[in-house]
Amino acid sequence: MDEDAVRDLLREVEDPDLGDDIVSLNLVNGIELDGESVHVSLALGAPYSPVETAIADEVRQVLGNAGLEVELSAHVDEGISADEQVFPGVENVIAVASGKGGVGKSTVAVNLAAGLADMGARVGLFDADIYGPNIPRMVDADEPPQATEDETLVPPEKYGMKLMSMAFLVGEDDPVIWRGPMVHKVLTQLWEDVEWGQLDYMVIDLPPGTGDTQLTLLQTVPVTGAVIVTTPQDVALDDARKGLEMFGKHDTPVLGIAENMATFKCPDCGGEHDIFGADGGKRFADVHDMPLLGSIPLDPAVRSGGDAGKPIVLDQDSDTGEAFRHIAREASNNAGIVRRRTQQ
Protein backbone atom coordinates (compact mmCIF):
# COMPACT_ATOMS: atom_id res chain seq x y z
CA MET A 1 0.00 0.00 0.00
CA ASP A 2 1.29 3.46 -0.88
CA GLU A 3 0.47 6.97 0.30
CA ASP A 4 -2.15 7.53 -2.41
CA ALA A 5 -3.99 4.39 -1.35
CA VAL A 6 -4.00 5.57 2.27
CA ARG A 7 -5.29 8.95 1.18
CA ASP A 8 -8.10 7.27 -0.77
CA LEU A 9 -9.07 5.33 2.34
CA LEU A 10 -9.17 8.55 4.34
CA ARG A 11 -11.72 9.96 1.90
CA GLU A 12 -14.19 7.65 3.62
CA VAL A 13 -13.92 9.73 6.80
CA GLU A 14 -16.23 12.74 6.88
CA ASP A 15 -16.20 15.83 9.06
CA PRO A 16 -19.83 16.01 10.29
CA ASP A 17 -19.63 19.75 10.90
CA LEU A 18 -17.88 20.89 7.71
CA GLY A 19 -19.81 18.48 5.51
CA ASP A 20 -17.08 16.84 3.43
CA ASP A 21 -14.36 14.22 3.73
CA ILE A 22 -11.19 15.06 5.63
CA VAL A 23 -8.96 14.85 2.55
CA SER A 24 -11.05 17.31 0.53
CA LEU A 25 -11.14 19.61 3.57
CA ASN A 26 -7.32 19.66 3.81
CA LEU A 27 -7.46 18.07 7.25
CA VAL A 28 -4.70 15.58 6.45
CA ASN A 29 -1.35 17.24 7.06
CA GLY A 30 0.80 14.30 6.07
CA ILE A 31 1.08 10.53 5.74
CA GLU A 32 4.18 8.46 6.55
CA LEU A 33 4.28 4.76 5.69
CA ASP A 34 6.68 2.23 7.14
CA GLY A 35 5.74 -1.27 6.02
CA GLU A 36 2.40 -2.08 7.62
CA SER A 37 2.55 0.95 9.92
CA VAL A 38 1.28 4.39 9.05
CA HIS A 39 1.55 7.72 10.80
CA VAL A 40 -1.12 10.27 9.90
CA SER A 41 -0.98 13.90 10.96
CA LEU A 42 -4.45 15.42 11.14
CA ALA A 43 -5.39 19.10 11.23
CA LEU A 44 -7.46 18.75 14.39
CA GLY A 45 -7.16 21.54 16.93
CA ALA A 46 -9.59 20.84 19.78
CA PRO A 47 -8.19 18.00 21.90
CA TYR A 48 -10.74 15.77 23.61
CA SER A 49 -13.68 17.39 21.85
CA PRO A 50 -16.25 14.67 21.09
CA VAL A 51 -16.42 15.40 17.35
CA GLU A 52 -12.66 15.44 16.77
CA THR A 53 -12.24 12.35 18.96
CA ALA A 54 -14.83 10.58 16.79
CA ILE A 55 -13.02 11.68 13.59
CA ALA A 56 -9.74 10.30 14.91
CA ASP A 57 -11.42 7.05 15.97
CA GLU A 58 -12.92 6.63 12.50
CA VAL A 59 -9.50 7.20 10.91
CA ARG A 60 -8.08 4.46 13.12
CA GLN A 61 -10.93 2.13 12.19
CA VAL A 62 -10.76 2.72 8.43
CA LEU A 63 -7.00 2.24 8.27
CA GLY A 64 -7.05 -0.59 10.79
CA ASN A 65 -9.60 -2.47 8.69
CA ALA A 66 -7.11 -2.23 5.83
CA GLY A 67 -4.54 -4.08 7.93
CA LEU A 68 -2.45 -1.06 8.97
CA GLU A 69 -1.06 -0.22 12.37
CA VAL A 70 -2.08 3.39 12.93
CA GLU A 71 -0.38 6.22 14.77
CA LEU A 72 -2.04 9.64 14.80
CA SER A 73 -0.92 13.13 15.67
CA ALA A 74 -2.77 16.43 15.43
CA HIS A 75 -1.61 19.91 14.51
CA VAL A 76 -3.30 22.96 13.01
CA ASP A 77 -0.86 25.31 11.32
CA GLU A 78 -2.20 28.86 11.45
CA GLY A 79 0.98 30.51 10.26
CA ILE A 80 1.97 32.06 13.61
CA SER A 81 5.45 31.45 14.95
CA ALA A 82 6.04 30.72 18.64
CA ASP A 83 7.83 34.05 19.03
CA GLU A 84 4.68 35.88 17.93
CA GLN A 85 2.35 34.10 20.34
CA VAL A 86 1.38 35.37 23.78
CA PHE A 87 0.68 31.79 24.88
CA PRO A 88 3.08 29.76 22.72
CA GLY A 89 2.17 26.46 24.36
CA VAL A 90 -1.61 26.98 24.40
CA GLU A 91 -3.69 25.36 21.69
CA ASN A 92 -6.99 27.18 22.30
CA VAL A 93 -7.91 30.35 24.18
CA ILE A 94 -11.57 30.55 25.21
CA ALA A 95 -12.83 33.85 26.64
CA VAL A 96 -15.90 33.70 28.88
CA ALA A 97 -17.75 37.01 28.83
CA SER A 98 -21.01 38.66 29.81
CA GLY A 99 -22.55 42.01 29.13
CA LYS A 100 -23.47 42.56 32.78
CA GLY A 101 -22.59 41.26 36.21
CA GLY A 102 -24.63 38.83 38.23
CA VAL A 103 -25.36 36.32 35.48
CA GLY A 104 -22.96 33.64 36.75
CA LYS A 105 -20.14 34.22 34.29
CA SER A 106 -17.39 33.12 36.67
CA THR A 107 -19.42 30.06 37.61
CA VAL A 108 -19.64 29.11 33.94
CA ALA A 109 -15.91 29.77 33.43
CA VAL A 110 -14.92 27.59 36.39
CA ASN A 111 -17.21 24.74 35.41
CA LEU A 112 -16.23 24.98 31.74
CA ALA A 113 -12.55 24.76 32.61
CA ALA A 114 -13.06 21.97 35.17
CA GLY A 115 -15.27 20.11 32.69
CA LEU A 116 -12.59 20.27 29.99
CA ALA A 117 -9.98 19.05 32.46
CA ASP A 118 -12.28 16.22 33.52
CA MET A 119 -12.50 15.18 29.85
CA GLY A 120 -8.73 14.70 29.94
CA ALA A 121 -7.55 18.02 28.50
CA ARG A 122 -4.66 20.10 29.83
CA VAL A 123 -6.34 23.28 31.03
CA GLY A 124 -5.43 26.70 32.36
CA LEU A 125 -7.94 29.01 34.09
CA PHE A 126 -7.05 32.69 34.08
CA ASP A 127 -9.06 35.05 36.26
CA ALA A 128 -8.87 38.31 34.33
CA ASP A 129 -11.32 40.13 36.60
CA ILE A 130 -8.73 42.43 38.13
CA TYR A 131 -11.20 44.33 40.34
CA GLY A 132 -13.22 41.38 41.61
CA PRO A 133 -11.16 38.19 41.38
CA ASN A 134 -12.92 35.20 42.94
CA ILE A 135 -11.79 32.15 40.98
CA PRO A 136 -9.48 30.88 43.78
CA ARG A 137 -12.40 30.73 46.22
CA MET A 138 -14.57 28.92 43.69
CA VAL A 139 -12.00 26.11 43.34
CA ASP A 140 -10.75 26.24 46.97
CA ALA A 141 -7.22 27.20 45.91
CA ASP A 142 -5.19 29.08 48.53
CA GLU A 143 -1.68 28.11 47.44
CA PRO A 144 0.02 31.16 45.86
CA PRO A 145 2.08 30.90 42.68
CA GLN A 146 5.77 30.16 43.11
CA ALA A 147 8.49 32.38 41.66
CA THR A 148 11.41 31.00 39.66
CA GLU A 149 14.97 32.29 39.46
CA ASP A 150 14.01 33.95 36.17
CA GLU A 151 11.27 35.91 37.97
CA THR A 152 8.47 34.05 36.27
CA LEU A 153 5.51 32.56 38.12
CA VAL A 154 4.59 28.89 38.36
CA PRO A 155 0.79 28.71 38.65
CA PRO A 156 -0.79 26.53 41.33
CA GLU A 157 -3.03 23.68 40.21
CA LYS A 158 -6.44 22.46 41.31
CA TYR A 159 -8.77 19.87 39.75
CA GLY A 160 -6.27 19.45 36.90
CA MET A 161 -6.29 23.18 36.07
CA LYS A 162 -3.39 25.63 36.22
CA LEU A 163 -4.64 28.80 37.90
CA MET A 164 -3.77 32.48 37.87
CA SER A 165 -5.65 35.33 39.51
CA MET A 166 -5.01 38.74 41.05
CA ALA A 167 -6.46 37.25 44.21
CA PHE A 168 -3.16 35.37 44.64
CA LEU A 169 -1.15 38.58 44.45
CA VAL A 170 -3.06 41.03 46.67
CA GLY A 171 -4.40 40.84 50.21
CA GLU A 172 -7.72 39.11 50.72
CA ASP A 173 -9.55 42.34 51.56
CA ASP A 174 -7.39 44.77 49.57
CA PRO A 175 -9.27 46.59 46.80
CA VAL A 176 -7.59 47.06 43.42
CA ILE A 177 -7.97 50.71 42.42
CA TRP A 178 -6.27 51.09 39.04
CA ARG A 179 -6.78 53.03 35.86
CA GLY A 180 -6.83 51.41 32.44
CA PRO A 181 -3.09 51.62 31.59
CA MET A 182 -2.16 49.80 34.81
CA VAL A 183 -4.74 47.08 34.09
CA HIS A 184 -3.21 46.61 30.63
CA LYS A 185 0.31 46.39 32.05
CA VAL A 186 -0.56 43.88 34.78
CA LEU A 187 -2.62 41.65 32.50
CA THR A 188 0.18 41.58 29.93
CA GLN A 189 2.71 40.64 32.61
CA LEU A 190 0.51 37.87 33.97
CA TRP A 191 0.00 36.41 30.51
CA GLU A 192 3.66 36.60 29.53
CA ASP A 193 5.45 35.97 32.85
CA VAL A 194 3.61 32.83 33.91
CA GLU A 195 4.93 29.38 33.03
CA TRP A 196 1.74 27.94 31.62
CA GLY A 197 3.47 25.12 29.75
CA GLN A 198 1.62 23.07 27.16
CA LEU A 199 -2.15 23.46 27.42
CA ASP A 200 -5.01 22.29 25.26
CA TYR A 201 -7.30 25.05 26.52
CA MET A 202 -6.87 28.34 28.32
CA VAL A 203 -10.18 29.57 29.76
CA ILE A 204 -10.14 33.29 30.54
CA ASP A 205 -12.79 34.63 32.89
CA LEU A 206 -13.35 38.24 31.83
CA PRO A 207 -14.94 40.91 33.99
CA PRO A 208 -18.48 41.92 33.01
CA GLY A 209 -18.97 44.58 30.38
CA THR A 210 -16.84 45.81 27.50
CA GLY A 211 -13.99 47.72 29.15
CA ASP A 212 -10.21 47.89 29.36
CA THR A 213 -9.63 44.20 30.14
CA GLN A 214 -11.64 43.02 27.16
CA LEU A 215 -9.86 45.45 24.87
CA THR A 216 -6.43 44.34 26.13
CA LEU A 217 -7.36 40.70 25.58
CA LEU A 218 -8.69 41.15 22.06
CA GLN A 219 -5.75 43.31 20.98
CA THR A 220 -2.99 41.08 22.35
CA VAL A 221 -4.21 37.49 22.61
CA PRO A 222 -5.23 35.21 19.72
CA VAL A 223 -8.62 34.18 21.10
CA THR A 224 -10.00 31.01 19.52
CA GLY A 225 -13.52 31.95 20.47
CA ALA A 226 -15.77 33.42 23.13
CA VAL A 227 -18.56 32.01 25.27
CA ILE A 228 -21.20 34.60 26.14
CA VAL A 229 -23.10 34.02 29.37
CA THR A 230 -26.58 35.37 29.95
CA THR A 231 -29.71 34.64 31.92
CA PRO A 232 -33.10 34.33 30.15
CA GLN A 233 -34.01 37.82 31.42
CA ASP A 234 -34.44 40.58 28.80
CA VAL A 235 -32.22 43.00 30.74
CA ALA A 236 -29.35 40.48 30.65
CA LEU A 237 -29.97 39.76 26.98
CA ASP A 238 -29.74 43.46 26.13
CA ASP A 239 -26.26 43.59 27.65
CA ALA A 240 -25.23 40.25 26.15
CA ARG A 241 -25.93 41.79 22.75
CA LYS A 242 -23.28 44.44 23.48
CA GLY A 243 -20.75 41.74 24.26
CA LEU A 244 -21.61 39.99 21.04
CA GLU A 245 -21.04 43.20 19.07
CA MET A 246 -17.69 43.73 20.82
CA PHE A 247 -16.35 40.36 19.69
CA GLY A 248 -17.75 40.94 16.21
CA LYS A 249 -15.87 44.23 15.86
CA HIS A 250 -12.61 42.42 16.69
CA ASP A 251 -13.30 39.50 14.33
CA THR A 252 -13.39 37.06 17.23
CA PRO A 253 -15.63 34.01 16.74
CA VAL A 254 -18.34 33.37 19.31
CA LEU A 255 -18.46 29.68 20.18
CA GLY A 256 -21.95 30.00 21.54
CA ILE A 257 -24.34 31.24 24.21
CA ALA A 258 -24.56 29.72 27.68
CA GLU A 259 -27.92 30.37 29.31
CA ASN A 260 -27.53 30.38 33.08
CA MET A 261 -30.19 30.41 35.81
CA ALA A 262 -32.86 28.86 33.62
CA THR A 263 -35.77 26.82 34.99
CA PHE A 264 -35.90 26.29 38.76
CA LYS A 265 -37.24 22.94 39.89
CA CYS A 266 -38.75 23.25 43.35
CA PRO A 267 -37.37 20.50 45.61
CA ASP A 268 -40.55 20.62 47.74
CA CYS A 269 -43.39 20.61 45.22
CA GLY A 270 -41.56 19.30 42.15
CA GLY A 271 -42.91 22.13 40.04
CA GLU A 272 -40.78 24.06 37.55
CA HIS A 273 -40.62 27.85 37.69
CA ASP A 274 -39.09 30.28 35.20
CA ILE A 275 -37.68 32.76 37.72
CA PHE A 276 -35.85 34.85 35.11
CA GLY A 277 -38.10 34.10 32.15
CA ALA A 278 -38.12 31.22 29.69
CA ASP A 279 -35.98 30.42 26.63
CA GLY A 280 -34.35 33.87 26.48
CA GLY A 281 -30.96 32.40 25.69
CA LYS A 282 -32.38 30.23 22.92
CA ARG A 283 -34.20 33.18 21.33
CA PHE A 284 -31.05 35.29 21.57
CA ALA A 285 -28.98 32.55 19.95
CA ASP A 286 -31.54 32.05 17.17
CA VAL A 287 -31.86 35.76 16.38
CA HIS A 288 -28.08 36.16 16.10
CA ASP A 289 -27.52 32.81 14.38
CA MET A 290 -25.32 31.60 17.22
CA PRO A 291 -25.16 28.14 18.77
CA LEU A 292 -26.85 27.66 22.12
CA LEU A 293 -24.27 25.71 24.09
CA GLY A 294 -26.80 24.76 26.71
CA SER A 295 -29.06 25.90 29.54
CA ILE A 296 -28.11 25.59 33.19
CA PRO A 297 -30.94 25.29 35.71
CA LEU A 298 -31.21 27.55 38.73
CA ASP A 299 -29.87 25.09 41.28
CA PRO A 300 -28.80 25.90 44.87
CA ALA A 301 -26.11 23.24 44.52
CA VAL A 302 -24.27 25.49 42.04
CA ARG A 303 -24.01 28.23 44.66
CA SER A 304 -22.97 25.88 47.45
CA GLY A 305 -20.42 24.20 45.19
CA GLY A 306 -18.94 27.57 44.24
CA ASP A 307 -18.71 28.70 47.86
CA ALA A 308 -17.16 25.39 48.93
CA GLY A 309 -14.71 25.32 46.03
CA LYS A 310 -16.18 22.17 44.45
CA PRO A 311 -17.35 22.78 40.83
CA ILE A 312 -20.64 20.98 40.30
CA VAL A 313 -19.53 19.85 36.83
CA LEU A 314 -17.44 17.21 38.61
CA ASP A 315 -20.52 15.70 40.30
CA GLN A 316 -21.31 12.82 37.96
CA ASP A 317 -24.69 12.23 39.64
CA SER A 318 -25.97 15.77 39.22
CA ASP A 319 -28.29 16.80 36.38
CA THR A 320 -26.94 20.33 36.70
CA GLY A 321 -23.41 18.95 36.51
CA GLU A 322 -24.40 17.21 33.29
CA ALA A 323 -25.69 20.54 31.93
CA PHE A 324 -22.23 22.02 32.49
CA ARG A 325 -20.55 18.95 30.99
CA HIS A 326 -22.74 19.39 27.91
CA ILE A 327 -21.59 23.00 27.60
CA ALA A 328 -17.94 21.91 27.89
CA ARG A 329 -18.44 19.35 25.12
CA GLU A 330 -20.23 21.83 22.86
CA ALA A 331 -17.67 24.60 23.45
CA SER A 332 -14.79 22.28 22.61
CA ASN A 333 -16.61 21.00 19.53
CA ASN A 334 -17.17 24.55 18.30
CA ALA A 335 -13.57 25.52 19.01
CA GLY A 336 -12.62 22.59 16.78
CA ILE A 337 -14.85 23.90 13.99
CA VAL A 338 -13.15 27.30 14.21
CA ARG A 339 -9.69 25.74 14.05
CA ARG A 340 -10.48 23.31 11.22
CA ARG A 341 -12.02 26.07 9.12
CA THR A 342 -8.62 27.81 9.03
CA GLN A 343 -7.42 24.97 6.80
CA GLN A 344 -9.96 25.71 4.07
Binding positions for ATP are 99-106
Q: Answer whether 13's CB lies under 8 Å from 21's CB.
A: yes
By DSSP bridging, strand 225-230 and strand 90-97 are parallel
Query: Per the annotation, where are the binding residues?
Result: 99-106
Q: What is the dihedral of CA 339, 259, 265, 119, to 10 degrees?
A: 20
CA distances from 330 to 142, 258, 333 (A): 31, 10, 5
| Entry field: residues in the chain | 344
Give the residues across from 256 on adjacent strands.
227
Tell me if residue 26 falls in helix, strand or coil.
Answer: coil
What DSSP state is assigned to residue 178? Answer: -
Q: What is the CA radius of gyration of the chain?
A: 21
Dist. CA 166–CA 129, nearest whole Å? 8
